[in-house]
Every structure is written in C-alpha cells, then in structure tokens.
Amino acid sequence: MVNQINEITDNTLNLSAIFCEKIESLCSTLNSFVKTESEDDLHKSRVAARKLESLFRSFGHLSLNEKYKQYFSGTKELIKLLGVTRELDVCIGMTKDYLKLIKIQNYYLLLFLKNLERTDASKRKQIMKSDLLNNFVSEEIAMTEFFTSEFSSIDKTNLQKLFGFIIPEMYDKITDYIDRFIKKPDSKTLLHNMRIKSKPLRYNMEFAIEYCGMNLKHQHAGIKELVEIAGKIHDIDVLTSKLQMFERAASKVKNNYIRNKSVKIFISYLKGTRKQDIEKLHELLESFAKNKFREKLIKTLNFK
C-alpha cells in the first residue's frame, strides 16, 4: 500500500496523477473499512469507488491497453460488492429518523427495523468475506505504476480541453431524461436513469473544478442538487416497497389491524415527502432550461 497520497500541484498535474490519487484514496478508505467495518467508512469507500469509475468511463477512449479494461472491470465489481447494503443502510436510517420524529417506540415499526438490520448484517458479512476488497488493495501499487505512465502526457491544458468535450456531452445524455421526466414525474424508470447518468457528470465537474480550476461551481451545484434530490426520491421508493412487502406479510396474521395502521401511516408520510421532493426536482429541472444551463455551461468551458 502507498502510505501517503502525494499532493498534486500545477507542475505535477496530469491525468496520470489524478488516476493515481483516486486509486490511493479508494484503497485508503477500503483499508479503514476493513479495520472498522463502520458504515461511515463503507459510505466513503462507495463514493471513492464511484469517483474512480467516473474517471475510467470518461477517459477509456484514450487507452487501448488491456490493463485499463482489467482495472476498470475490477472497479465495477468492487462497486457492485460495496453496494449490496447501500439501500438497506439508507432504509434503516430513514426508519430511525421517522421513529424519532413520531417520538413513539412503535412495536411493529421496531420489528420492521429489526428485520432490516438483520438482513443488513447478513449482507455486511457477505462483503467482509469477499476476497475482492483485499485483492483490489493488493493491486494498488501495480495500478498506480500503470497509470503513472499511461496518461502522463495529458497535462492541465489538455485536461481542460477534454473536460470541454466530456462535460457537455454528459449533460446532453441526461437532457432527454430530464425532458421526459418533467412530463412524467411519477416514472421511477426515468428517475433512475436520469440519476445514474447524472452521477458521472457531477464527479467530472468536481474534477474540472478541483484540478483545472474551471469556473463550474454554479453548474456543479445544480447537478449535485439534482443527484441528491433524485437519490432521496429513489430511497423513498425503495423503503416504501419494503414497507408494502412487510404490510402484505402482516395481512396474513390475525389481529393485525394496529400493525397495518402503523405501516400505512408511515407509507403515507413517505408519499407526502416524495411529493414535496418531486416538486423540488421539477422546479430545478425546469430552471435548467429557463436559465439556459447548457449555453452557460458551454460558455464557461470556452468550448465552441
């Protein structure tokens, strides 16, 4: 393992250095998670893996080396593994927040929570038993050595030009979903696709700001808000589905009126929250067109 992440300066900035920094950052968070098994370190590992994946997706056309494909594939497998508890972790947190809000230790919702935590613990063991974590970390030096030479010629000037192409192209890929979602705001499929396509755009904007000093903070804030609101709506949908499954199971039990009522009230609360978030997202997406988001993005990137 590389013990210290070297600080990137203007003199050392190139695409190789960015790849190496993100690899080292991911391996560092993975090592912490293996030691602590904490939810916070798991979350940091997921985010670090997603950022590295965004680099792979954005710059894959620049490398024909088989190792690039191999390391990209390994990163995707890692994301898949780390994601097995993601939705459960969120559902557990949202249920706990609701119980705090109502200030009642509802027996049936506590039972629902216990079921979630039991499943989460089982999935967490699945992560810890996998060899993928240690295997990925063991490749850290080999990966950084590979990337040290692979993209060293792509300096800050070249990166700025590349971001000038990549970022507008990524935005264009989500505009179709945005237009259709505005017309069909209840479509979970459109919401999911729009959210997934927006994540790499968000991270590439972060890279452009962090490493190239590009003035994208306003546009990045808009895309970040899109991802966060859409993610919250998705999480509500997942939790609602799990509650409905719990409710159906309860309907087969005698004297289940109180249980069903507790679950129905929680679901009603979630639906109300979802409606508010849909309205926020709808307003945000309409503001993109109204405020000429793409035109301003192109102007900021000085790309014609």
Q: Which two three-digit tokens encode residue 240?
A: 């609602």
**Beta-carbon count within 10 A of 275 CB:** 14
| Residue 155, SS3 per DSSP | strand
Task: Express each pLDDT in 179-195 by its tens digit.
Answer: 898 888 888 899 999 99
Mean pLDDT of 78-93: 94
Stronger pLDDT, 250 or 118, i.e. the higher one: 118
pLDDT of res. 1: 43
Task: Express each pLDDT in 138-180 by its tens digit.
Answer: 999 999 999 998 898 999 999 999 999 999 999 999 998 988 9
Phi then psi dihedrals of residue 155, to 5 deg: -90, -170
**Beta-carbon count within 10 A of 1 CB:** 11
CA atoms of 286 and 288, how far apart (whole Å): 5
Largest interatomic CA distance in the chain: 72
Q: Is the pLDDT of residue 94 over 50?
A: yes
Q: What percent of the chain has pLDDT over 70?
A: 92
Look over the chain and give the mean of its residue pLDDT values, rounded to a whole number. 90
Q: How confident is the model at residue 3 (pLDDT cuts 50, 70, 90)?
A: very low
pLDDT of res. 179: 87
| C-alpha distance from residue 175 to each of 143, 229, 280 (Å) | 35, 17, 17
Q: Which residues pair with 155 in a beta bridge?
A: 14
pLDDT of res. 7: 61
Q: Is the pLDDT of residue 259 over 80?
A: no
Q: How confident is the model at residue 6 (pLDDT cuts 50, 70, 90)?
A: low
Question: Which residue in 215, 204, 218, 199 sits closest to 15, CA to CA?
Answer: 204
